[in-house]
A and B are shown apart, each in its own frame.
Chain A
Amino acid sequence: MKKINNKIKNSFGRKVFVVFNGILLFCICLVFIVPLWNVLITSVAKDQDVLGNVYLIVPKSFSLKQYSRILQSGYFKSFVRSIIIATIGTMFSMTITLPAGYTLAQKNLVGRNLFMNLIIITMIFDVGLVPFYVVVRMYGLINTYFALVIPVGLSTFNLILIKNFISSIPDSLIESARIDGANELIILIKIIIPVSIPIIAAITLFYFIQYWNRYIEVVMFIHDNTKTTLQVLLRTLMFESESATTGAESVYDNFKMAIMVMGMLPVLVLYPFIQRYFISGIMLGSIKG
């Protein structure tokens, strides 16, 4: 038996496959890394090195000049603004998502099916951007920071993830606290939150990145450039200067890349943490509701 196993394992075709597979996956990794690396090294290159040169993998110079330029520009202000919006937004989102997830996880909740259906309908039937804009304008939120937080404050997907996680906590834990006379808010804070730290951390990160990456809602709701976010300014810098090739004052690539690095920064910093939660498979069971 063992002999046959070894034979299969070491057969020539298998060896070729293993080598080929390794090379293929290595190349695939390069496809993901090279563009990011290129952005990074270009952002720290000196002006003369990026002017029409092939600047691909080997850095030729190192200078933080572009970053110090950004520090004094409106881009840095929008970076700080984006961080603040994402932080406040995430706190707002968590304060409505977490309690709602807890309530919906209660199996004997009055009208549980009704609530769940109302929520799922919004996933099946997309509301549409134009009515969404009309309503936000009607509420008087246009050109206010509230528009960047409240109308986009809840994600049904995140809500269902939290609800599913809390459903998997043994009822006995909650019931015994109820018998002791603890009210629901206390149960949520003292019992549910401590055992749900992994999912709470994951959802917090998702929300933060969603706020950070948001683009179209910002364009729709904020018409004032001094209130806008970094993503919107990055889009203008990259795409509008690109389409107006003639006449427009050209910005060097290293400056553009430095802004791009700023646009990716929070994601790069948070990514190792997010990745851990995904690998542990939280998402998988939850996707299926």
Chain B
Amino acid sequence: MKNKKVRLIDRINQQKFLLLLLLPALLWYLLFRYIPMMGNFLALTNFGSSIHIKFVGLKNFIRLFQSLDFYRAFNNTLILSFANIVFYFPLPIILAILMNELYHVKMKRLVQFIVYIPYFFSWVVVGSIFITMLSPTSGIINKIIEFFGGKSIYFMVSTFWFRPILIISYIWRQVGYGTVIYIATISTIDPELYDAAKVDGANHFQRVLHVTLPCIKSTIATMLLLNLSHVLLIFDQIIVMQNAAVYAVSDVLRTYSYREGLENMNIAYGIAVGLLTSLATAILVLSTNKASKKFLDESVF
């Protein structure tokens, strides 16, 4: 036992310069990740709503479960997450397969180059582009509607249209990212597999179904996991694009936590909402990771 301890100290001593190089990063994690994590305990106090901080137990959580706004945010988060998985998730796979069918390598590169651009724009820029296109007075979309004899629609304040707009703008910005990753995976597939399938008489479609898809299935699992790890955390896009007129359909857990905690300064209550969101996300990520390990022999963490 003592021997082991000595050896540990020896090893630390031996690697002290190496550890020194890691120190700034560790310090950063402590200051900006672990101490804020401890800050979550403030959810059990009345911090923010009163000058005298005192322990209030689960009061914030009880208030939360009785609040209609919380259920609204919870509901919106689930709807948007679900829509994200259904409408967004398959698109990069389909797009990558279609792009892979292009004969000219240069064309393939060009398409890839183009669809990938928006991923690097901020949500503010992407939101601004959408707001311009959807503007009731000068937007392209409304000009087209008017051209066909329709009436112009004020999309950004419409409770009916706002969710589809969120999904479409999400797709517009993100689809290139997934596509590039799938294309990179597809390009690593051994061409002999396709030749073998050809010899067996498989047509193009069958080759996609029986060669391409099985070969990229672990990437699909990884991407699904990455996707699930942030669906509940959806925030940046919404905080940029939403306005008071569409809170009812777009307020999600994190925007609710942000508004309560930092705009209305009910800090402890905001933390309680955020904490539940983080816990739900952690459970979701860990369980999908476990499932992916079990069924696909593949895990991200």
| A interface residues (Cβ-Cβ under 8 A, vs B) | 1, 5, 8, 14, 17-18, 21-22, 24-25, 28-29, 31-33, 35-36, 38-39, 50, 52-56, 95-97, 99-100, 102-104, 106, 109-110, 115, 118-120, 122-136, 139, 150-151, 153-154, 159, 183-185, 188, 209, 212-216, 220, 231-232, 234-235, 238-239, 242-243, 253, 256-257, 260, 263-264, 267, 270-271, 274-275, 278-279, 281, 283-284, 287-289
Asked whether B138 lies within 8 Å of A220 as measured between CB atoms, the reply is: no
The dominant DSSP class at the B interface is helix
Nearest A residue to B21, CB-CB: A99
A39 to B117, CA, bound (A): 15
Q: Is B120 an interface residue (CB 8 A)?
A: yes
Asked whether B28 lies within 8 Å of A154 as measured between CB atoms, the reply is: yes
Asked whether A281 lies within 8 Å of B184 as measured between CB atoms, the reply is: yes
Task: Provide the residues of chain B in CB contact with A36, threshold 8 Å.
Answer: 117, 129
Task: Provide the residues of chain A in CB contact with B300, threshold 8 Å.
Answer: 287-289
Asked whether A130 lies within 8 Å of B262 as measured between CB atoms, the reply is: yes
1/0 contact string of B152-182 vs chain A (CB within 8 Å):
0000110000000000000010001000110
Q: Is B227 an interface residue (CB 8 A)?
A: no
Q: Whole-angstrom distance from the CB of B173 to the nearest CB of chain A?
A: 10
Nearest A residue to B9, CB-CB: A110
Nearest B residue to A242, CB-CB: B131
- Which among B18, B32, B185, B243 is the interface contact of A184 at CB below 8 angstroms? B18
Task: Provide the residues of chain A in CB contact with B137, threshold 8 Å.
Answer: 52
Asked whether A38 lies within 8 Å of B140 as measured between CB atoms, the reply is: yes
- Given A103-B22, A125-B278, A242-B131, A130-B258 contact (CB < 8 Å): yes
Task: Provide the residues of chain A in CB contact with B76, threshold 8 Å.
Answer: none
Task: Provide the residues of chain B in CB contact with A183, threshold 8 Å.
Answer: 17
- Which among A22, A96, A232 is the interface contact of B28 at CB below 8 angstroms? A96
Task: Provide the residues of chain B in CB contact with A110, threshold 8 Å.
Answer: 8, 11-12, 15, 19
A183 to B180, CA, bound (A): 40
Asked whether A134 lies within 8 Å of B42 as measured between CB atoms, the reply is: yes
A-B contacts, 29 listed (Cβ < 8 Å): A18-B103, A22-B102, A32-B172, A33-B114, A56-B140, A99-B24, A100-B21, A124-B229, A126-B277, A126-B281, A128-B271, A129-B257, A130-B262, A130-B271, A131-B40, A131-B271, A131-B274, A185-B17, A215-B124, A216-B236, A235-B240, A242-B131, A243-B157, A260-B125, A271-B120, A284-B181, A284-B184, A287-B226, A288-B300
Beyond A100-B26, A260-B125, 17 extra complex contacts between A and B, CB < 8 Å: A8-B204, A52-B137, A110-B8, A120-B301, A128-B257, A128-B274, A129-B258, A129-B261, A131-B36, A131-B42, A131-B274, A134-B42, A185-B17, A242-B156, A263-B128, A270-B120, A287-B300
Can you list the 5 inter-chain pairs with the closest CB atoms, starting with the nearest?
A: A131-B39, A213-B122, A128-B274, A100-B25, A130-B261
The dominant DSSP class at the A interface is helix
Task: Provide the residues of chain A in CB contact with B138, threshold 8 Å.
Answer: 50, 52-55, 253
Which residues between 235 and 276 of chain B lie within 8 Å of chain A, taking CB atoms? 235-236, 239-241, 243-245, 254, 257-258, 261-262, 267, 270-271, 274-275
Q: Whole-angstrom distance from the CB of B117 to the nearest CB of chain A?
A: 6
Task: Provide the residues of chain A in CB contact with B132, threshold 8 Å.
Answer: 35, 38-39, 238, 253, 256-257, 260
Asked whether B282 lies within 8 Å of A125 as measured between CB atoms, the reply is: yes
Nearest A residue to B24, CB-CB: A96
Asked whether B37 lies within 8 Å of A127 as measured between CB atoms, the reply is: yes
Most buried by B among A104, A216, A263: A216
Task: Provide the residues of chain A in CB contact with B35, threshold 8 Å.
Answer: 135
Task: Provide the residues of chain A in CB contact with B123, threshold 8 Å.
Answer: 213, 215
Nearest A residue to B130, CB-CB: A35
Asked whether A106 lies within 8 Å of B18 as measured between CB atoms, the reply is: yes
Task: Provide the residues of chain A in CB contact with B233, threshold 8 Å.
Answer: 126
Asked whether B32 lies within 8 Å of A130 as measured between CB atoms, the reply is: no
Task: Provide the residues of chain B in CB contact with A53, threshold 8 Å.
Answer: 138
Task: Provide the residues of chain A in CB contact with B95, threshold 8 Å.
Answer: 28
Task: Provide the residues of chain B in CB contact with A125, threshold 8 Å.
Answer: 37, 278-279, 281-282
Asked whether B204 lies within 8 Å of A17 as measured between CB atoms, the reply is: yes
Asked whether A267 lies within 8 Å of B21 as measured between CB atoms, the reply is: no
A158 to B225, CA, bound (A): 18
- Given A139-B31, A184-B18, A128-B121 contact (CB < 8 Å): no
- Which among A24, A239, A275 is the interface contact of B131 at CB below 8 angstroms? A239
Task: Provide the residues of chain B in CB contact with A128, threshold 8 Å.
Answer: 36, 40, 257, 271, 274-275, 277-278
- Which among B110, B116, B118, B254 is the interface contact of A278 at CB below 8 angstroms? B116
Q: Is B63 an interface residue (CB 8 A)?
A: no
Q: Whole-angstrom distance from the CB of B53 to the nearest CB of chain A?
A: 12
- Given A220-B262, A242-B135, A25-B29 contact (CB < 8 Å): no
Task: Provide the residues of chain B in CB contact with A235, threshold 8 Å.
Answer: 124, 127-128, 240
